[in-house]
Amino acid sequence: MNGILEGLDTTGKIKVLMAAKGITQVDLSKVTGLSLGTISNRFDPEKKDQWRMDELKKIVDAYQVELTDII
């Protein structure tokens, strides 16, 4: 996945992952244990890239990608 992710920030990379795997924000909420409102805030252009490492690890574990693919 790295080629298409080049130049994107973490939130952008997660968006690509979501599109490629048909993942919704509701799915991310369930995987990370965060509320849907918090997930929505993570995608807010003014607040994006506030992902914590433990959240990112839950995402990569659930969707079988490498951590380096999204950070």
For 3-52, what is each residue's pLDDT tens digit?
777 888 999 999 999 999 999 999 999 999 999 999 999 998 887 678 99
Q: How many CB atoms lie within 10 A of CB 3?
A: 5
Task: Output the CA torsion sign for 12, 21, 41, 50.
Answer: negative
Provide the CATH number for the domain around residue 16: 1.10.260
With respect to residue 70, please indicate whether it lies within any of the assigned structural domains: no
Quote the number of domains for the chain.
1
47: DSSP letter? T
The confidence score (pLDDT) of residue 4 equals: 73
Q: Is 27 exposed, middle or buried (0-12, 13-18, 19+ CB in 10 A)?
A: middle
With respect to residue 51, please indicate whether it lies within any of the assigned structural domains: yes
